[in-house]
Structure 1
């Protein structure tokens, strides 16, 4: 058996997602079983972009996620449920979905995948500290290890018992389809109740220290194999950027030019315009070249600094931890995406 340890985000070290792809190609996977404590929309999209349609079309995959404490985004579950040949279950889901705060009776902390090819006698396992989020799979500082068994005897002597235990967890878990509507309803309700008073009057935009918007699913405007960088924003959000677009502005008109300061330190300027759908559209800095991994499922935070806007893209749970107690009036778009300002 071959084993390999790695530290994600260290120089010359692979990411968790890269190791999953390497083991998948080596094993020529026939069956996939992934178990993760929580899933985010960014993780689902990152995995999808990496494996492509061939994975979903050719390989039966099983996924077991936790919803403890509401850390899993319901959008991520729906995204995975809709994939071809994918079965999604939730650890102790029927119990946890009914509890206030989604408190578990036993925490689910799994972060591992098994890649199995019984026909050729190849068995792989990737385990680590990273969850099924884009940060956990390829961005954050994480540790992990991969194991390759090229004979059934090797598999039996090493991680077959772990695989069988994982299958036992899968067998007794709740099908995600059975609870997704209830989970989404209660998850959205809990998010709204902790976000602030939506009836609060509009702020003095000149005095807003930072503002934010949920990106949701970002259309792949740069091609099917690249994360998108163009989002729609609600009519009137231009005021946060220092503009005052008239109500009778013609569609496809430019509202103004916005300069972003990205995590890489580079400045990127793009036009904010009014689209055909009467939404305000902006192209964000290209993820791969400006220090972002992707925007899908993230909360985008903009902080005015002089004539530019420092920009961050945070996982929903991280945003809630950092800013949840400082949110001003929270508004919702027709799609359910939320936005507002930070006090």
Structure 2
């Protein structure tokens, strides 16, 4: 085995973080298996790990998640269970007066020549642990069959400690989690304004992954092209199943406020935004999303674009609500409670 050490502090450069190390390894080797065992997991942590694989986790993945101390976010468990081909187990030793505390990441390529890396150390699956906290880890490369067998023995000893959670068990855990976390400021400070330019998934406050959200929204603001386009934050692309780092344009079906269906295209921009290209088939676009000012220029839009998921993968509802409406205040409050309220320089956005 070849062993090296990885450590980071809050002052470390992004290139020296565990998240970047995993990204570098994933870029060099086409891993087809990911085995993850952590005491605590957050939505932003699992999303950062997935992003390290260019937003496509290996086709086979297993997740062993600790429930002790009610720190693991229920939304993170939901995100893991939603990964295609993923197998999820949970474990808790609270009733015995102990904790499940391992932090182990194993990435392997089964085809020849076999390659694998095992990371053992202090880093839980949170965004702070992967790219912020003071952490230390051993990075172990498997070099022969004996190394692979030792790694497998390690994983087997961990995996057998967990079990597949029942639906009722997950509901019960969520209730305990919410009861244990009501004292946190983010649960009550629903009027707190997000900092300009903040990225929601850069914080472990986010309780809900965009892929699991039912609603996604953004203020229209000074949208471009005479009010015929809306720029969505890169991370909002996940709501539509799009890669937040960009991919080819995709067309989706939308149910409009007129009850008619239409196709609209989302295109990734160089400014790390997804741009929704609107047409006059959208009633609000035909009427004008931006007011005409006395000098003939277009002012700031008074609308918020609201996208709602349907039971079909590529079909969404698109509505526009007023910035001053009670519905929008309720939408912002719910996003704030979930830690999913963000802001560009001039607009607020979120999901819930």
With normalisation by structure 2, the TM-score equals 0.54
CA–CA separation in structure 1 for the residues paired with 2:289 and 2:106:
49
Conserved in 2, the CA contact under 8 Å of 1:46 and 1:134?
A: yes
2:77 corresponds to: 77
Could you report, residue by residue, the CA deviation over 1:218-241 in whole angstroms, capped at 9, with x for unpaired residues? 5672252249999xxxxxxxxxxx
Q: Any conservation in 1 of the 2:27–2:53 contact (CA below 8 Å)?
A: no
Query: Does residue 133 in structure 1 map to residue 132 in structure 2?
Result: no
How many residue pairs get matched?
236
Query: Cα distance, 1:142 vs. partner?
Result: 1.5
8 Å CA contact retained: 1:8, 1:139 = yes
Going from structure 1 to structure 2, the CA distance change for 1:13 and 1:111 (only over 3 Å counts) comes to same
Structure 1 counterpart of 2:177, from 187, 196, 210: 187
Please list, as runs of the form range in 1=range in 2, the aligned pairs for 1:1-343 lying within 5 A after superposition.
1-9=1-9, 10-11=12-13, 14-26=16-28, 28-56=30-58, 59-92=59-92, 96=94, 105-120=97-112, 121-156=114-149, 159-160=150-151, 163-178=152-167, 179-192=169-182, 211=192, 215=206, 216-217=208-209, 221-222=233-234, 223=237, 224-226=243-245, 274-275=303-304, 276-278=320-322, 279=328, 298=339, 335=352
Q: CA–CA distance in 2 between the matches of 1:123 and 1:196?
A: 40
Deviation at 1:49, TM superposition (A): 2.1
Root-mean-square deviation (Å):
4.4
Give the SS at the match of 2:181. helix
Distance in 2 (CA, whole Å) between partners of 1:104 and 1:24 is: 38
Checking the alignment, whether the CA contact within 8 Å between 1:41 and 1:297 is kept in structure 2 is no
Q: How far apart, CA to CA, are the structure 2 residues paired with 1:194 and 1:3?
A: 40
- Taking the aligned partners of 2:178 and 2:337, their CA distance within structure 1 comes to 18
Distance 1:212 1:104 in 2: 42
**CA distance 1:137–1:298, change in 2 (3 Å):** farther
Kindly tell me: are residues 296 and 39 of structure 1, through their superposed partners in 2, closer, same or farther at Cα, counting changes over 3 Å? farther
Give unpaired runs (5+ residues) of structure 1. Answer: 97-102, 204-209, 231-250, 255-270, 283-294, 303-332, 336-343
Unmatched 5+ stretches in structure 2 = 195-204, 211-215, 217-231, 238-242, 247-271, 275-287, 292-299, 305-319, 323-327, 344-349
Change (3 A) 1:272 1:130: farther
Question: 1:253 Cα shift?
Answer: 8.1
- 1:56-100 Cα deviation digits (max 9, x unpaired): 5xx2100111111100010010011011011111113xx75xxxx
Please give the secondary structure, in 2, of the residue aligned with 1:28.
Answer: coil
Within 1, Cα distance between the matches of 2:337 and 2:55? 18
Distance 2:30 2:351 in 1: 43
Q: Contact between 2:38 and 2:66, CA under 8 Å: does it hold in 1?
A: yes
Q: What TM-score do the two structures reach when normalised by structure 1? A: 0.55
The alpha-carbon distance between structure 1 residues 55 and 41, as it changes in their structure 2 partners (threshold 3 A), is closer
Question: Does structure 2 conserve the Cα–Cα contact (< 8 Å) formed by 1:64 and 1:88?
Answer: yes
Counterpart contact for 2:186–2:337, Cα < 8 Å: no
Residues 110-146 of structure 1, C-alpha deviation per residue, up to 9 Å, x if partnerless? 1111123344332320122221011111222222121
In structure 2, distance between residues paired with 1:19 and 1:105: 35
Taking structure 1 as reference, are residues 144 and 281 closer, same or farther at Cα in structure 2, changes over 3 Å only?
Answer: farther
Is contact 2:122–2:137 with CA below 8 Å preserved after alignment?
yes
Contact 1:17 1:138 in 2 (8 A): yes
User: 1:122–1:84: structure 2 CA closer, same or farther, 3 Å change rule?
Assistant: same
Q: Is the 8 A contact 1:42 1:297 kept in 2?
A: no
1:7·1:143 contact (CA, 8 Å) conserved in 2?
yes
